[in-house]
Chain A
Amino acid sequence: MLRFFAPYKKEFILGPLFKLAEAVLELMLPTVTAFIIDRGIIAGDRGEVLKWGAVMLIFAVTGWTAAIVCQFFASRASQGLGTDLRNSLFEKFFSLSERQRRRFGSDSLTNRVIVDVNQIQTGAAMVIRLLIRAPFLCIGGIVMAAILNPPLSLLFILLTGATAAVSAAIFFKSVPMSRKAQNLLDSLTVKLRQNLSGVRVIRAFTAEEREINAFRQSTAAHEKQAAAAGILTALTEPTTTLLLNFGIIGVIAFGGWRVRNGEMSRGEIVALVNYFIMILNAFVVISNLAVLFSKTAAAAGRVKEILNTKTEEATDGESALPPEQTDTPLIEFQNVTFRYAPGTDAALKNVSFRLFKGRMMGVIGGTGSGKTTLGDLIQRFYEIDEGRILINGTDIRELSPAVVRGLTAAVSQEKTLFSGTIAENLRWGNPNADDAELEAALRAARAEDFVKSLPAGLQTPVERGGVNFSGGQRQRLCLARAFLKPAPVLLLDDAFSALDAETGAAVRAGVEERRQTQAVIVISQRTENLRRADFILTLENGSVAGAGTHESLLKTCTVYREIAASQGEGS
């Protein structure tokens, strides 16, 4: 994390220095006041009153200038730091594996870039603006008191120390309480969200009253905890005020005695009282800062968690694809075994196959059988544990992920589109494609008609996540995007699921034709999509339960036959 501060060293040093200058001047004010009283009023000198008044004014204006300079540094450094952090976090996201990304969740990752970094920015600005100033005013107040009147400064140290101890004790005790209150609020939110999503079921079971009672218990628990935490935190203010007010009484009492003995002036008493008030105000700032910094620390922790996450994505490897050879398979799995985490069940066990150019491979199996994992491994989204994956005869680990992914044009289950226009989305497949090529791809994906029916056609805006299109339309656009990508392998993972039977059949026929130029992999849990594949890999709990054509598998593979039967086919 520290490395992010390095570019702003200048600001982080100069900013607080200027702030310090302002604080020094502010610190002088009560002393100057004492001069006005002692040298001016009590001595009866009008000129002294005006002179020191002018000094006060100069201090005020100079202090303001210094503060402005500090704010300038603070905003430049904190926003710059935040901007750098956001860039780094975002780049880091690319090296997270799919599994890591899902574990954190999109919302959480987005929040770290936006909300947490924002908190860090605020914290960093406060470091520059207040971290030096507030303690300096505290300590400086004591030092000035010591200069004005050494014996009385002991009282200052004592009371300031006591105040610090009290507020620190309250702070540390209140932090876990507030966290507990926050957790109770979270569980209350969970209850509420569940109630909303299950409204039909709840009413069907006539459980409304039970839900109300359970919710009341939740709100009561939260109220109790949150109030307790709040009441404890609110103890700081009256306690510190009381302690410092007693300090003022002490100053006047002790000072009165010393003035009578001629050891001190009344102006000094006024100055000391003002220093006490200054310390009090600085203390309020410090306790606010403590809250702010504990929040910032939590935010920094969440950001650091991402930055320090060990990347599961490979970053190494050759940046050129090995040349195709006629007798070598385009993709070959040799006894591939893969686990998502060490010690867990293998997601794929001992899988082997060879896919040649001009061939179509099908992958079938139930949910959780490892179909999608197999597709992910082909694209080097994960590193395998045992066995080898060969691309044109070269081990996949010797090739950079970018090269490996250039090999496949993929459609995945998620049907992801991005904000922009339809044309922009399609050109992800091939940035150089002209409109005619886009239209050809749309035709192949049976998307031409609906795109043409849109008023803006290819230039129709795609909203975030493609929400302005139906699932079927999104899937067809994803297919078209993959068709445009000039890659040796076409990889379709559950890519017909949102299409109606007729459209699905038409697109499938087109895909089967693509064998002339590409190797095709179709992952599906329906046999109808794979019937014309050259061979089908049947997966069951990560293992190959059978491989062969549709007809041969129906004869030899029980799992395949069961799948087919459950879809009303075969037997």
Chain B
Amino acid sequence: MNRIRRLLLLFFPQRRTAAALSVTAVVTATAATASPFLAGFAVDLIRDDGSGDLSALFGFLAVLAVVYTVSALSRRILSVLAIRLSFRTGKHLRDRAFERLQHLPLSFFDRTPRGEILSRLTNDIDILTDGLSQGAVQLSGGILTLIGSLIFMLILNPVVALVIAVMTPISVLIAAFITSRSQRQFREQALYTGRLSALTEEAVSGMKTIKQFGREEKTAERFRNLNRKLYFCGRDAQFYGSLTNPTTRLVNNTAYAAVAVVGGLLALRGGLSVGQIAGFLTYAVQFAKPINEMTAVLYQLQAAGTAAERIFELIDRPPQPPDACGARRLPASEGAVRAENVSFAYTPDKPLIRNLNFSVKPGQVTAVVGPTGAGKTTLINLLMRFYEIDSGKLSLDGVALGGYRRPALRSSFSMVLQETWLFKGTVTENLVYGRPDATAADAEEAARLAGADEFIRKLPHGYNSLIEEDGGNLSQGERQILTVARALLKPAPLLILDEATSNVDTRTELKIQEAFLRLMKNKTCFVIAHRLSTVRNADLILVMDNGDVVEQGTHSELLAKNGLYARLYRR
């Protein structure tokens, strides 16, 4: 019930449209159900003996023309309103969900698969709005048509009305019976389709290996076998599924015949006119339609309900706590960082960082080292407040990180991560992302400094070249250098840098290293260090293992300690 209320509330901003929609729905249904009645009445105005008054007939037909026009107009308005309402609601939902995404804590993104979020904002919203606009309109229209038809039929003749009212639900029951029988086949078809899809995907992406080991025939055979199974259950599913239409048609036609015969017999006794029989024949067809469509509509509404649940689950997620009201609005100016008894855990039952203490003066370099999976990015997460510390104090220029507004805190840092994220847009647009007010000249200056100018100029449109979504037109190394240039443009006293340069050959790595060095100048740096020179010259080395900082000190201090660092270093 709560969910339905939420759904109705969705329409609240468009309540006028929704109200207009309800009115037109009633008008449409009334006009649609009245027309056979009126048309039948018109037929009765015709007399076989030629005595009929034609002017009365034509006058009545004029009324009928007005009814038809009103019916068409209201139907048109109904569909326009429904479409507007549905797309408006869809946009509104997308915007709301997207806005919420921007304010969700990072932990949500780290835990939820990307495809999952994507499908909620795309497919689910489509299913919901389609279901609401089409499903709700059809359902209400269908119910109104049923009631209207029933009323007019009862006015015409209760006996024939009863014939139709009994025959039609029978056709629906038969359809439902067949549908339930074919469900099993459809499930099986879906199962084999899924398996075949998985096999295809695997074979296509592993094609090179298949060829290297001469497994083409074996793989094709596996495919053919599965495909054959899919054929059999697909054929049966389709056959049983397609029985519904002719069968309901059979029942409808039987109803049609029954109306003609019963009506005819009644007419012989003088209880029914020819025009009324004509009207009934139309009702027999019209009455069955909404009932036949009911199954599909209910299914659509059910799907919309499930989609709504998934969307609301996202929209209702608690956002990250807002910044304290007295929090600092200005970024840090010095760049002194201090950790006092900092503790942190991603999940409460698995404590990671315990009692971390360190102090970094402005302009100093802190190297974070440790084996793969030691949790080196955790420190970045804490410094940028992607995650909040559990206890202790982490401060910047003497102010606890929580004492800054998030934008102020994050403006204090430049950041270059291992994942070289660029967006679809021109090179310049990407470069000025961190400083939208920068000029093209600023962008070029930064690119030159990073050593990107040369290859940017070689691109088809220089600084105006489009960067593809997957960055296909740039090499991994070029992307990395672009992110360095982007960071260079942003004036910040602190720097976070992940030195890892995967998928880049060692000579390109040297070039990137030079860019890194320029970026590090005059900044307080936190470097996830992969290079010995960085580590050796660092003012402070934090050695991480299993998520915790296990050692810290300078290079020589740590070597003297002869612990994990010394072991890593000597290997």
Contacts and interface: CB of A to CB of B under 8 A. Distances in A.
Interface of A: 22, 26, 29, 32-33, 36-37, 40-42, 44, 46, 49-50, 52-53, 56-57, 59-61, 63-64, 67-68, 71-72, 74-76, 78-80, 82-83, 86-87, 90-91, 93-94, 96, 98, 101, 106-107, 109-110, 113-114, 118, 121, 125, 129, 185, 188-190, 192-212, 215-216, 219-220, 222-223, 226-227, 230-231, 234-235, 237-239, 241-242, 245-246, 248-249, 252-253, 255-257, 259-262, 265-267, 269-270, 273-274, 277, 281, 365-368, 379, 381, 401-402, 405-406, 408, 410, 412, 414, 416-419, 428-429, 464-465, 481, 485, 501, 525-526, 562-563, 566-568
A270 B278 contact: yes
B75 A566 contact: no
A260 B277 contact: no
Given A109-B204, A197-B421, A198-B423, A94 B216 contact: yes
B48 interface: yes
Contact of A223 (B64, B79, B91, B256): B91
A96 B239 CA distance: 36
Q: Which of B65, B421, B505 has the most CB of A within 10 A?
A: B505
A75 B242 contact: yes
Contact of B246 (A32, A71, A109, A281): A71
Most buried by A among B79, B204, B250, B282: B204
A129 B246 CA distance: 11
B48 to A, nearest CB: 6
Contacts of A428: 209, 213, 215
Given A79-B238, A101-B204, A190 B118 contact: no
Given A207-B434, A481-B213, 14 more contacts: A56-B253, A60-B256, A75-B235, A79-B238, A195-B98, A207-B433, A212-B95, A219-B91, A220-B91, A238-B76, A242-B68, A260-B50, A405-B212, A428-B215
A516 B240 CA distance: 65
Nearest to B532: A568
Contact of A71 (B205, B242, B384, B386): B242
A219 B99 CA distance: 12
Interface string B420-449: 010110000000011010000000000000
B182 to A, nearest CB: 11
A219 B95 contact: yes
**CB-CB nearest 3 A-B residue pairs:** A53-B261, A67-B246, A56-B257
Interface in B31-47: 35, 39, 42-43, 45-47
Interface in B234-268: 234-236, 238-239, 242-243, 245-247, 249-250, 253-254, 256-258, 260-261, 264-265, 267-268
The prevalent SS among residues of B at the interface is helix
B285 A277 contact: yes
Contacts of B102: 195, 202, 208-209, 211-212
B136 interface: no
A321 to B, nearest CB: 13
Interface string B194-235: 001110111111111111111110001001100110110011
Interface in B457-477: 469, 475-477
B83 A249 contact: no
Contacts of A199: 106, 109
B54 A567 contact: no
A243 to B, nearest CB: 9
Nearest to A376: B208
Interface string B106-125: 10010000100110011000
A64 B57 contact: no
Interface stretch (B152-160, B308-316, B394-402, B507-515): B507-515
Contacts of A93: 203-204, 207
14 contacts: A29-B253, A33-B281, A56-B253, A87-B227, A200-B384, A207-B434, A210-B436, A238-B79, A245-B35, A266-B46, A273-B39, A366-B505, A464-B202, A566-B510
B122 A91 contact: no
A295 B68 CA distance: 33
B194 to A, nearest CB: 9
Which of A57, A121, A481 has the most B CB atoms < 10 Å from its CB? A57
B98 A215 contact: yes
B338 interface: no
Contact of B469 (A87, A190, A208, A277): A190
B264 A49 contact: yes
A196 B114 contact: yes
Contacts of A78: 238
Contacts of B413: 204
A241 to B, nearest CB: 6
B504 interface: yes
Contact of B121 (A29, A80, A192): A192
A171 B274 CA distance: 39
A199 B102 CA distance: 8
B253 A246 contact: no
A259 B106 CA distance: 80
Interface of B: 35, 39, 42-43, 45-48, 50, 52, 54, 57-58, 61, 64-65, 68-69, 71-73, 75-76, 79-80, 83-84, 87-88, 90-91, 94-95, 98-99, 101-103, 106, 109, 114, 117-118, 121-122, 193, 196-198, 200-216, 220, 223-224, 227-228, 230-231, 234-236, 238-239, 242-243, 245-247, 249-250, 253-254, 256-258, 260-261, 264-265, 267-268, 274, 277-278, 281-282, 285, 384, 386, 406-407, 410-411, 413, 415, 417, 419, 421, 423-424, 433-434, 436, 469, 475-477, 490, 496, 503-510, 532, 571
A270 B506 contact: no
B379 to A, nearest CB: 14
Given A90-B220, A211-B102, A36 B384 contact: no
A212 B214 CA distance: 51
Given A200-B417, A230-B83, A406-B214, A71 B197 contact: no
A29 B256 contact: yes
Contact of A260 (B46, B211, B250, B419): B46
Contact of A249 (B47, B68, B254): B68
B216 A110 contact: no
Given A219-B91, A222-B91, A269-B46, A41 B250 contact: no
B249 A67 contact: yes
Nearest to B255: A60
Contacts of B84: 227, 231
Nearest to B264: A49
Contacts of A227: 83-84, 87-88
A41 B267 contact: yes
A256 B265 contact: no
A252 B43 contact: yes
A83 B193 CA distance: 11
A219 B117 CA distance: 17
A5 B202 CA distance: 29
A46 B265 contact: yes
B242 A465 contact: no
Nearest to A369: B505
A171 to B, nearest CB: 16
A262 B197 CA distance: 68
B94 A90 contact: no
Contacts of A107: 201
A107 B99 CA distance: 30
A201 B417 contact: yes
Given A79-B234, A234-B80, A234-B83, A56 B260 contact: yes
A57 B277 CA distance: 17
Contact of A265 (B48, B101, B231): B48
B503 A60 contact: no
Nearest to B42: A252
Contacts of A40: 264, 268
B315 to A, nearest CB: 14
A323 B274 CA distance: 95
B114 A197 contact: yes
B75 to A, nearest CB: 4
A511 to B, nearest CB: 17
